[in-house]
Amino acid sequence: MADLPKNIGRYLVKRPIGQGAMGVVYLAEDPLLKRRLALKVVRASGEEREQALERFKREAEISAQLNHPNIVTVYDVGDEPALGPFIAMEYVEGNSLGKFIRDNSLELETKFGILIQAMRALRAAHRHAIVHRDVKPDNILVAEDGRVKLMDFGIAKTMAPRLTNAGEFLGSPAYSAPELLRGGDPTPSSDRYAFAVTSFELLTGQLPHPGTNVAAVITHILTEPPVFPAGMSGDMTKVFRQALAQDPEERPGSLMDFLLPLVDAYPLDPNSRTRVNELFRHDDHAGDIVPLRRLRPSANIPPEPPTAATSTGRTTAGLGVRNTPVRPVPSYTLPSAVKIELEPESPTSTRPPGHGQPRDRRPGSSEITPLTMVKWFIAILVAGQLIWWFYRLLNSSAPPA
């Protein structure tokens, strides 16, 4: 690694916390605001340098729009002449979800708590017409206190001027929807597909489309159905088969329409199910903290240093099933995001058969919406009119005295 810079912009560099083919991530301190942060610096020159800076600016804009407790906050963007473009981001001590999957070190209830928090972050992006385009375990950070942060919006899709060449693929193939691999446009449905793959890997320890290299994985995604573990229940298989459908129109219409049936289908004990269901009732901006309940650590798994919110260089994700050798999963780690003009994800999208009407909250929620109040008001007016009409009818039909 090159000599440690003393300053990047106004920030005091402490130490490197990550390195990849495209750049370095440093732990730094803001001397003005007295806070720690992560600085991602990209090595680039010429046109690539300009594109990297534009992507960082876009990521900062997206972060400012979303301002969500489950999305990593971006503080600043700049260009250090001697180093390259940089982005200053929230520093969160913890590890990526990919690390936890590789270690197989989380209890089941904690896994669902992580998925619910990640769902809130992604749903917030969709409601702002932003498609992440690179949802995967290595872009989901789990902090030491249990808070979950979705990161790396650098390749998110927007309708702003294109920052990629026509036909260029950005993302991680193992988690990419078939339509993206065929050159189609990213949509909320393709993000939901990636979220389903992430959920599948977290709960089973394996990917739905296996392969020994990138080409094999892509071929399997495009030509073969998902591979389900032998012990997976029929209900869970049904949920994942729909979520991983080749045709985007056949997938659940919202993240909630996927995650609720998944929780319903999973064999949780009653107490765990109650606690998980309670998380669905909370507001998207509640910023819940789910305690990290770890399984007993394996003696052959070495500890890994804390990961910054913007760590780079994570190019593989192991399957991490207990008693199963860890195998590399082909994926790319690229600079991140892009906004498209699309309808925000509807909370009333079609649910899978057998699950009733769409819902964004679990039964028992006492929320009274403006629409509900209007319906009540109209019902009262109609009832009053009927009573008045019936009273007039009785009086008019009564015999004269």
| Active-site option among 3, 30, 134, 235 | 134
**Beta carbons within 8 Å of 184's beta carbon, 6+ residues apart:** 190
Q: Is residue 120 part of a domain?
A: yes
Quote the mean pLDDT of the chain: 76
Strands 35-42 and 11-19: unpaired
Q: Is residue 46 part of a domain?
A: yes
Q: Is residue 311 part of a domain?
A: no
Say yes or no: 33 and 148 in one domain. Answer: no
pLDDT bucket at 312, cuts 50 / 70 / 90: very low
Cα–Cα distance, 166 to 13 (Å, whole number): 37
Say yes or no: 173 and 55 in one domain. Answer: no
Say yes or no: 72 and 177 in one domain. Answer: no
**What was the pLDDT predicted at 176?**
96
pLDDT tens-place string over residues 260-293? 999 999 988 999 999 999 988 876 555 555 555 5
Q: Is residue 350 part of a domain?
A: no
Q: Is residue 80 part of a domain?
A: yes
**What was the pLDDT predicted at 8?**
94
Beta bridge pairs of residue 44: none
- pLDDT above 50: residue 310: no
Say yes or no: 73 and 118 in one domain. Answer: no
Say yes or no: 102 and 61 in one domain. Answer: no
> Is the CA virtual torsion 44, 93, 330, 186 positive or negative?
negative
**What was the pLDDT predicted at 294?**
54
Final residue in a domain of this structure, among 280, 296, 319: 280
**What was the pLDDT predicted at 105?**
85
Host domain of residue 36: 8-90
DSSP state of 316: B
**What was the pLDDT predicted at 385?**
59
Query: Which is nearest to 31 in space by CA: 13, 51, 5?
Result: 13
Q: Are 28 and 14 in contact (CB under 8 A)?
A: yes
Q: Which residue has the higher pLDDT, 203 or 331?
A: 203
Query: Which is nearest to 210 in space by CA: 100, 304, 80, 327?
Result: 327
Final residue in a domain of this structure, among 261, 280, 299: 280
Say yes or no: 170 and 115 in one domain. Answer: yes
Q: Is residue 267 part of a domain?
A: yes
pLDDT bucket at 376, cuts 50 / 70 / 90: low
Say yes or no: 85 and 121 in one domain. Answer: no
**What was the pLDDT predicted at 325?**
37
**CATH label of the domain that carries residue 60:** 3.30.200.20
**What was the pLDDT predicted at 354?**
41
**What was the pLDDT predicted at 62?**
86
Split into its structural domains, the chain has a count of: 2
Q: Is residue 273 part of a domain?
A: yes
**CATH label of the domain that carries residue 179:** 1.10.510.10
Say yes or no: 57 and 133 in one domain. Answer: no
- Is residue 134 part of the annotated active site? The answer reads yes
Phi, psi of 396 (to 5 degrees): -70, -25
**What was the pLDDT predicted at 316?**
30
111-115, 273-277, 310-314: least confident range:
310-314
**What was the pLDDT predicted at 63?**
83
Say yes or no: 46 and 61 in one domain. Answer: yes
Q: How far is CA 236 from CA 197, 241, 282, in A?
A: 13, 8, 24
Say yes or no: 19 and 154 in one domain. Answer: no
Beta bridge pairs of residue 155: 337
Flag whether 136 is marked binding.
no
Residue 108: CA atoms inside 13 Å, Cβ hemisphere, count? 13
Query: Which is nearest to 90 in space by CA: 313, 312, 309?
Result: 309
Length of the chain: 401
pLDDT tens-place string over residues 197-227? 999 999 999 999 999 999 999 999 999 999 9
pLDDT tens-place string over residues 118-129? 999 999 999 999
Phi, psi of 118 (to 5 degrees): -65, -35
Cα–Cα distance, 145 to 160 (Å, whole number): 36
- pLDDT above 50: residue 349: no
Final residue in a domain of this structure, among 221, 250, 280: 280
Q: Are 75 and 89 in contact (CB under 8 A)?
A: yes
- pLDDT above 70: residue 400: no
**What was the pLDDT predicted at 285?**
56
Say yes or no: 37 and 149 in one domain. Answer: no
**What was the pLDDT predicted at 239?**
98
pLDDT tens-place string over residues 114-163? 999 999 999 999 999 999 999 999 999 999 988 999 998 866 654 333 33
Q: Is residue 361 part of a domain?
A: no
Say yes or no: 268 and 126 in one domain. Answer: yes
pLDDT tens-place string over residues 16-62? 988 876 788 999 999 999 999 999 998 888 888 888 888 888 888 88
Average pLDDT of the segment spanning 304-333 = 38
Q: Which residue has the higher pLDDT, 185 or 23?
A: 185
**What was the pLDDT predicted at 382?**
52
Cα–Cα distance, 192 to 248 (Å, whole number): 10
Percentage of the chain exceeding pLDDT 90: 49
